[in-house]
Amino acid sequence: MKIHPLTAILAFLLGVIPVADANIYKSRINPHWAPDGTWMWYRNDLAEGAREFILVDLKKGLREHAFDHNKMAGALREAGAGEHKAAQLPLEDLRFNLKAHTVTFRINGKWYSCNLRTYKLEEGQKPDSSPEPSEKNTDQSPPDRRPHRPARDISPDKKWRAYIKDHNLWVRSNEEGSKEIQLSSDGAENNRYQAPFWSPNSNNLISFRVKPGEVGEVHMVQSSPREGGRAKLHSRRYALPGDQFTAHELNWFDLAGREHRKPEVGLIDFRGPRLRWTEDGRYFRYEKIDRGHQRFRIIEVDTFSGKHRNIIDEKSKTFIWTEHALRLGMPRVNWLQNSREILYLSEKDGHRHLYLVDIASGSMKAVTRGNFVVRYIDMVDEKNRQIWFRASGRHEDQDPYLIHFYRVNFDGSGFTALTEGNGDHEIRYSPDRQFIIDTYSRIDRAPVHELRRVSDGTLVCHLEETDIRELVATGWQPPEVFSAKGRDGETGIWGIVCKPANFDPSRKYPVLEDMYAGPHDSYVPKRWSSGRRYSAWTEMGFVVIKVDGMGTANRSKAFHDVCWQNLKDAGFPDRILWHKAYARKNPWYDITRVGIYGGSAGGQSSTGALLFHPDFYKVAVSSCGCHDNRMDKASWNEQWMGYPVGPHYSESSNIDNAHRLRGRLLLIVGEMDNNVPPESTMRLADALIRANKDFDLIVVPNGGHGGGGRHGDRRRKDFFRKHLLGIEPPNYNIPQ
């Protein structure tokens, strides 16, 4: 595997530096599947330009060389097809007939057929058999289960047009000379009706009367416009926790009876409505998330009776994970198309699991159970009533974050593990979905490839293990995986340790922690990489670690709940115990010199490390931090800190706790940060100044949400070198 220049650039930006001139072999398999599903072949590219062709008999589960490479080279020579080394045969488009023991292939534009018993070669025509099936689109994604969205203005039968006039809802027949019909009369300038949702029967309409929220603005001053001239003020609406959001009042209209009702379902004051009509036009349904994320409902309204009910009504004393889960490929609500059921994703039993909900009764039955976490729904097969999904944590002897693939029936029966190996998995299906190539790796183990049956997940045969001997010969070593018990004395906390290339266990090494603890995910990398992770730091003499502490996602609900109204926690009690446990086993690991850095939520946490745990963390560099959750986007912060805003927001605020600072702190902020308002960092600076604290501050003109570019990177490195290694930075202003 050669390293592509673009790959090198991306790896550098991520702090993973590729190793030059070190080839890696068998890291990926590119299969060619038989049209009849009886075999597959692939080619391994090896050292010094060598290659080998591998044939797998899918029925017998046999993997072997596709042919005798030496005999094939001789057969080509005798047939006048050229002189070729046995280890470098340029064969293409191989087609096998296992019963006849023949292979057809193309070389130098000509087609040949070879009898693999006699190795007699005959020139021929391109095979007439159907083309080899492509792998494309064999991995099926979840069906589109977004809400039914009828046309906003024209009724489905094309007879009516609905519109807003004088803040109210009106309709008019499309017949020539028809009159306007006013359906509502209570609309006002600041509480106007919104374009309607027609029912499929063209008689019922839903329209929300909308009261605008009171969301303030955030401002950014662009001090140094590239075109010159005066500084520019940039302002935009930006909802903060506690702001009054837009409120939607549900209204139902019966066109034939000129009836207008207001179902008593409460206002929707968080996230706009997502409406679904049933095909007969009798019921409409929608999701409702209560402000503060402690209650989630699917509400159904019966237009015949005017009554409403909750199909799903989940409540939590902490939070229900509603935001960000969809972005991670985990829609909470999956409406089935061929039955009156919903597949629902919930953490209500202590882990994130799937439930089957009967729409008519609202009854909910668990589809998956156990001490593991559903991570992604790959496919819902309604015909066979099966769900294909990914999960982590089911293997007690493995890192609980490693992803495996599974299948289960709607009723919870037939639970089948499609993967088993100790690693983080990705799979590719054969065109007929009877087999998978399962590739798994860990950060400390190069990829392994296996062929497995889809029917029961059993192993057909081992295929390959990635060859990294050339890489290892350069002195490359993978990061070390380490786990220790968290604050409860029971739960495993997992992280990685990255050492210098010239590591000497007789020395003492200061430690840097790469910090991010946003509760919406977990962050320690799990898959293998050929790069030298954090080499920009380790080559300066630091050991770099990354840990997922309590309060982050993809473990149990209790693990996740630690963040509730408590973002200052950031898993630090677990992180510190992890550091100390590692230091007990490794005397070179110097926990008297621990630095920490991070950006955005990691910027908040890295500063918080010095404020709330000054006895352990000594130096921090914090970029573009949200230093007070009352000053950052409401959708993210209310998910974890709750609503309404209370004293707990202040308790987690770096600004309100600035007087606690004891360590060395560098703040970096871009003046044009359009994610976290830069005033968050500036107000922290103000609080530190008022508390008579020493700190460093870099404001990056025109800088956005990031670490300050090359200048910020240099200053960050100099800051840690000075305060953890005792190395004074040079005077960069003197020409070298």
- 83's CB contacts (< 8 A; 6+ apart) are 77
Residues 71 and 53: their CA atoms lie apart, in Å, by 13
For residue 241, cis peptide bond before it (omega within 30 degrees of 0): no
**The dihedral of CA 194, 195, 199, 205: what is its sign?**
positive
CATH number of the domain residue 616 falls in: 3.40.50.1820
Strands (E), 77-119: 92-97, 102-107, 110-115
Confidence category of residue 140, pLDDT binned at 50, 70, 90: very low
Given a cut of 70, whether residue 1 has pLDDT beyond it is: no
Under DSSP, the state recorded for 734 is S
pLDDT surpasses 50 at 632: yes
- Whether 471 maps to a domain, the answer reads no
For the cut 80, the answer to whether the pLDDT of residue 141 exceeds it is no
| Assigned token pair, 405 | 């693939």
Residue 338 lies in a domain: no
Q: Residue 620: inside a domain, yes or no? A: yes
Phi, psi of 472, deg, nearest 5: -65, -35
Tokens of 462: 């081992």
pLDDT for 314 equals 97
pLDDT tens column, 73-92? 999 999 999 999 999 999 99
Residues 319 and 567: their CA atoms lie apart, in Å, by: 13
Q: Decide: 313 and 659 in contact? Cβ < 8 Å.
A: no
Residues 598, 506: one domain? yes
Q: Give the containing element (helix H, strand E) for 427.
A: strand 424-429
User: CA neighbours within 13 Å on the CB side: how many for 673?
Assistant: 27
Residue 379, beta-bridge partner list: 388
Q: At what angle do helices 572-585 and 601-612 cross, to 10 degrees?
A: 70
Reply yes or no on whether the pLDDT at 146 is more than 60: no
Same domain for 237 and 310, yes or no, is yes
Structure tokens at 312: 């799903």
Q: How far apart are CA 221 and CA 225, in angstroms?
A: 10
Contact status, residue 353 vs residue 321, Cβ threshold 8 Å = no
Cα–Cα dist 399/587, whole Å: 25
- Residues 171, 100 share a domain: no
Q: What is the mean pLDDT of residues 561-568?
A: 98
CA distance 596 to 589: 15
The pLDDT tens digits of the residues spanning 308-348 come to 999 999 999 999 988 655 555 668 999 999 999 999 999 99
Give me the half-sphere count of Cα atoms (radius 13 Å) on the Cβ side of residue 720. 28
Domain final residue pick, 302, 323, 344: 323
140 torsion bin: left (phi>0), alpha (psi -120 to 50), beta (else): beta
Q: How many CB atoms lie within 10 A of CB 15?
A: 16
Task: Please state, in angstroms and rounded to a whole number, the distance separating the CA atoms of residues 611 and 518.
Answer: 18
Question: 3-state class of 512 per DSSP?
Answer: strand
The yes-or-no verdict on residue 10 having pLDDT over 80 is no
Please check whether residues 654 and 573 belong to one and the same domain: yes
Q: Residue 319 carries which side chain, given as an amino acid letter?
A: F
**Same domain membership, residue 119 and residue 53:** yes
Tokens, residue 483 = 């786990």
What's the rounded Cα separation, in Å, for the pair 603 and 544?
Answer: 17
Size (the chain), residues: 736
Asked if residue 110 has pLDDT above 50, the reply is: yes
The whole-number pLDDT of residue 681 equals 98
Give the CA distances from residue 567 to residues 348, 608, 705, in Å, rounded to whole numbers and listed in that order: 22, 10, 20
pLDDT digits (tens, 9 = 90+) for 171-222: 999 998 889 999 999 999 999 999 899 999 999 999 999 999 999 999 999 9
Residues 390/419, Cβ–Cβ less than 8 Å: no
**Structural domains of the chain, count:** 3
Distance CA 26, CA 50 (A): 12
Task: Compute the distance between CA of residue 482 and CA of residue 679 in angstroms, rounded to an integer.
Answer: 38
Positive or negative CA dihedral for 672, 675, 677, 683? negative
Longest CA–CA span in the chain (Å) reads 94
Report if residue 382 sits inside a domain. Answer: no
What local confidence, expressed as pLDDT, does residue 324 receive?
55
Q: Quick one: 207 and 319 in the same domain?
A: yes
The better pLDDT of the pair 248, 195 is held by 248
Q: Are 94 and 81 in contact (CB under 8 A)?
A: no
What is the reported pLDDT for 331?
83
* Long-range pairs of 73-76 with CB within 8 A, sequence gap ≥ 24: 74/119, 75/114, 75/119, 75/120, 75/121, 76/107, 76/112, 76/121
* pLDDT at position 4: 42
Q: Please, which residues have CB within 8 angstroms of residue 87's CB and are 6 or more apart in sequence?
A: 46, 49, 50, 51, 52, 69
What CATH number is associated with residue 292? 2.140.10.30
172, part of any domain: yes
pLDDT digits (tens, 9 = 90+) for 580-621: 999 999 999 999 999 999 999 999 999 999 999 999 999 999
- Residues 244, 155: one domain? yes
Task: Report yes or no: 511 and 579 within 8 Å, Cβ to Cβ.
Answer: yes
Q: Which of 409, 444, 447, 396 is nearest to 425 (CA)?
A: 447
Q: What is the DSSP string of 455-514?
A: TT--EEEEEEE-B-HHHHHTT--PPEEEEEE-TTSSSEEEEEEE--TT--TTS-EEEEEE
Token pair of 325 as six digits: 């889960």
Out of 304, 323, 342, a domain closes at 323
- Mark whether 560 and 702 lie in a shared domain: yes
| Greater pLDDT, 13 or 731 | 731
How far is residue 564's CA from residue 569's CA, in Å, rounded to a whole number?
A: 9
Amino acid 274: pLDDT: 84
| Alpha-carbon gap, residue 40 to 66, rounded angstroms | 10
Radius of gyration, alpha carbons of the chain: 31
Distances (CA, A) of 304 to 204, 209, 586: 10, 21, 72
Entry pTM:
0.92
State residue 273's pLDDT score.
82
* Domain assignment present for 597: yes
Residue 457 in domain: no
324 CB contacts (<8 Å, ≥6 apart)?
520, 521, 636, 639
d(CA 602, CA 622): 7
The continuous run of DSSP H or E covering 260 comes out as: strand 259-261
Rounded Cα–Cα distance for residues 582 and 339 (Å): 53
Average pLDDT score, the chain: 93
Mean pLDDT of 667-686: 98
Task: Determine the Cα–Cα distance for residues 342 and 382; give it in Å rounded to an integer.
Answer: 11
- Measured CA to CA, the distance from residue 622 to residue 607 in angstroms comes to 6
Claim to verify: residue 65 and residue 191 sit in the same structural domain:
no
Identify the DSSP state of 105: E
Phi, psi dihedrals of residue 377, rounded to the nearest 5°: -95, 115
Domain holding 599, by residue range, is 484-725
Instruction: Say whether both 51 and 163 belong to one domain.
Output: no
Question: In the listed set 323, 340, 369, which residue is the last one of a domain according to the structure?
Answer: 323
What is the SS3 assignment for 380? strand
Whose tokens are 């589109």? That residue is: 144
Tokens representing 576? 């510190």
pLDDT tens track for 255-283: 999 999 999 999 999 888 889 999 999 99
- Indicate whether 65 and 150 sit together in one domain: no
For 634, the 3-state DSSP assignment is helix
Between the alpha carbon of residue 518 and those of residues 13, 123, 546, 548, 671, the distances in Å are: 21, 63, 14, 10, 23
Is residue 120 located within the same domain as residue 150? no
The whole-angstrom separation of Cα 607 and Cα 696 is 12
Specify if 133 maps to a domain.
Answer: no
Instruction: Give the pLDDT band of residue 298 (cuts 50, 70, 90).
Output: very high
Distance, in Å, from the CA atom of 79 to the CA atom of 73, rounded to the nearest integer, reads: 10
